[in-house]
Amino acid sequence: MGNGKGPGDFVSTPARELAAKITKTAREGGRLVRSRGAIGELALRDETTVSTRGTADVLTKYRNPAFVSRVTSRSAAFTEIFFGEPNERQRTLIEAAAAYLAGSGVELLVMDKQMGLHPEHSHHCRTIVTKPFARLLVMWDKLIFDLPAGREEEEPDQVLVMIPEWGDVAKRLGLDPRAIFCDATGRATYVLGSDYFGEVKKGHLRMAMYAEKTRLLAGSGGGLGVHAGGKVIRALDATSGKVENKGAIFFGLSGTGKTTLSVHHFWLDPAKGESVVIRQDDFFVMTESGTAHGTEDNAYIKTEGLEPEGQPLLYAGAVSPSAVLENVYVDPKTLDVDFFRYDHPFAPGGRCLNGRGVVVRRELDFTDAEIDLPRVDLIFFITRRETIVPPAARLDPEQAAAFFMLGESIITSASDPTKAGQSVREVGTNPFIVGSEGEEGNIFYRIIRKNPKVQCFLLNTGGFGGRTVERSSEPLDAPEAREKLRRFVDGGKHPDTGSKIDHALPAGETMKFKVSSVRYEVARGGTRLRARNDLKDLLAALDAGTESGAGMALVEVAVLAGQKISIQDSAAVIREIARSGVVWKRDAFWGYEVPESIPGLDLARYDERRFYTDGELAALRETLRAERVAWLARFTDLDPAIAGTIT
């Protein structure tokens, strides 16, 4: 039985029926709390936050709540998706969770909200959490839209049940302490053992976007859910001589600058009638007619390193009394917020680089009441690379679909120093795809081909000309070498990290490079040990005396960041693309177009032959090309026209 909207909506499944039973049992037992006032009061005294911070409540000096969670990121490794029928293990856990809720007498907090505003692309979302975790509903309430009056008693399109304390319950029962199950067919999700708000947000988005795709494939409306921010750019077009409204969407993995660019004003010229109108920062539904429909009322942003000069809009939003923060450092005495301090009582290593906040979009400059784009004109795939990817490239439809599939960036030193600079890829920059990833690429390609006026671009927000440099090598059996390895394995930061060092370029020019990280590798019998776990095991063997270190060398490797592509540079690129002011030329190796000139941007800073010898350049190109070809070859159902564009 569906909700009457059409194909792709929920059907009755065991997981969905159990969610309805949980709600009914709690309501009949007088244990169901819907009052927003009551939920807000509970969140104000959130036990996890006040006990770890040692404060009377959760408020900062700005009078906005700043919560602390025990789990500080999504539990992707514990997330499983099924379609209607759970397997035996999944069924056991879901039924045990329902039995706990029924038998413990715990009060349940419930909130019904609406995702999206367009009548054909909106979703009634119900979230149920246990009483001690009211903060999750306060954040959810802030993020998306109120349900129209009188609809709370209707059957929702989708339900998410969250039991953060499940780990303690599971120990008594001998069951898995953490699990996230999504029944895509029944549109029911169970989050067991995590108190991280991202599970609520992404859990609902995952279900809604699958429903949209299912409708699209059935020919009953719907669209492609894309992990992208978007805005209207009002720019004086060099071709028409008029100010034109151009709908722009921005794809990007976490940390690439997607949200920053989605809400930036690009220093356009208001005296000429130029401006931006911010619509969304995270998810749209793209349709075959070329429209894009927003999903959320407000913005869920990363706060790491947030400052007023480079990101004035987001900073102002984050220190507003109406913002809600999560895992951001708050001084327990002054209650001041520090977006550059990452102390955290529960994060691995005591540091959380995943501070978040829900900021009110309409409090930001350059916003209006709309969240949809009536037309998409510009699509940007944001990546963060450090070597040979240019600040911008213009793509044809096949290349655009290929870069949608590549969804590429690099691992940062903050994420994992042992893997800094290595490629990371996620189809559509979207870790929440349900079903075939190749199918998603084919749908995107179909949409682009049906809307030939859409222009697509690759945008690098990282750096250019970076490299790794082996700085020293010493015998591992020396005590000093072993201690260096120990400090590195234990998470210690090298004193040179963040400093600048001189490095000679091929033409003899000396340039200062920032040391983004320093790592250690062990050369052993013609191979290199690089992974942290391998180094940890070797160190344990050295300590135990089963290895002596003889014949091994400890190699110190510095990762040098390239010529930084600043927010000012990226803004100039987007601004001039919107103005039709970029002159393009074809790149002979990659086949896409790269800028020959961009007003206000010195492209000589990003000349690959300035930074690399011919041999280095050939090796970097071939390595990246081979990675891309191998990645695309994984998707057997991908249209050959997409896979064949990079060869």
**For 328-370, how does the pLDDT look when each residue is reduced to its tens digit (9 = 90+)?**
999 999 999 999 999 999 988 788 889 999 999 999 999 999 9
For residue 378 the two structure tokens come to 């510009």
Q: Coil, strand or helix: which one is 188?
A: strand
Q: Which residue in the block uniquely carries the two structure tokens 């440099």?
A: 469
pLDDT of residue 1: 31
* Residue 300 DSSP code: E
Confirm or reject CATH 3.40.50.970 for domain 224-298+363-463+566-643, answering yes or no. no
- pLDDT tens-digit profile of 482-541? 999 999 998 888 999 999 999 999 988 999 999 988 999 999 988 999 988 899 999 999
- Could you tell me the CA-to-CA distances from 282 to 279, 455, 513, 598, 621 in Å, in that order? 10, 20, 33, 28, 31
Diameter over CA atoms, the chain: 79
Q: What is the pTM of this model?
A: 0.91
pLDDT (mean) for 57-76: 96
Write the CB contacts of 397 (distance below 8 Å, at least 6 apart in sequence): 445, 448, 449, 452, 456
- pLDDT tens-digit profile of 268-318? 999 999 999 999 999 999 999 999 999 999 999 999 999 998 788 899 999
pLDDT of residue 598: 97
- pLDDT tens-digit profile of 81-128? 999 999 999 999 999 999 999 999 999 999 999 999 999 999 999 999
pLDDT of residue 5: 47
Of 3.40.449.10, 3.40.50.620, 3.50.50.60, 3.30.2290.10, the CATH number of 14-217 is 3.40.449.10
Name the segment(s) of the chain with CATH classification 3.90.228.20: 224-298+363-463+566-643
Asked if pLDDT for residue 7 goes beyond 70, the answer is no
For residue 585 the two structure tokens come to 């030329």
Name the segment(s) of the chain with CATH classification 3.40.449.10: 14-217
- pLDDT tens-digit profile of 402-416? 999 999 987 654 555
Query: Which range, of 34-43, 305-314, 315-324, 629-638, averages the lowest pLDDT?
Result: 305-314
pLDDT (mean) for 193-219: 97
- Given pLDDT bands bounded at 50, 70 and 90, which one contains residue 418? low
* Mean residue pLDDT across the chain: 94
